[in-house]
Amino acid sequence: MGTLEIKLEIFDKLKNIEDISLLEKIRNLLKNADSSEVYQFEQYELDMLKESEEDIKYGRVISQEDLDKEDLEWLSK
C-alpha cells in the first residue's frame, strides 16, 4: 500500500470519528510527528556521541548482564 492509499484510508476514518477526546489525541500525535522539525544537537551531546563511538571502536564496552551485576553491587552499598 502506497503513501496516498494510506493517507486516504486515514482520512476516511477521521471523517467518521465523533469522539472529541480521540480526535484531540490524534491531533497531538500528529503535532509530535511534524517531520519538518530537525533536532539540533548541543555540543555536549555531539561530544558524548563521539566518545561513545570511540568506546565502541576500541572495545570499551560491557555486556548488559555485566552492567546489571555492577548495578546490583552499587545498589547494595
Is 50 contained in some domain?
yes
What's the domain range around 16? 3-32
Is 13 contained in some domain?
yes
Grid cell listed for 64 = 548488559
pLDDT at residue 34 greater than cutoff 90: no
Is 38 contained in some domain?
no
The helix/strand/coil state of 5 is: helix
- At 40-64, the pLDDT tens digits run 899 999 999 999 999 999 999 999 9
Grid cell listed for 8 = 486516504
Is 26 contained in some domain?
yes
Do 51 and 71 share a domain, yes or no?
yes
Is 37 contained in some domain?
no
Q: How many domains are there within the chain?
A: 2
Is 63 contained in some domain?
yes
Is 24 contained in some domain?
yes
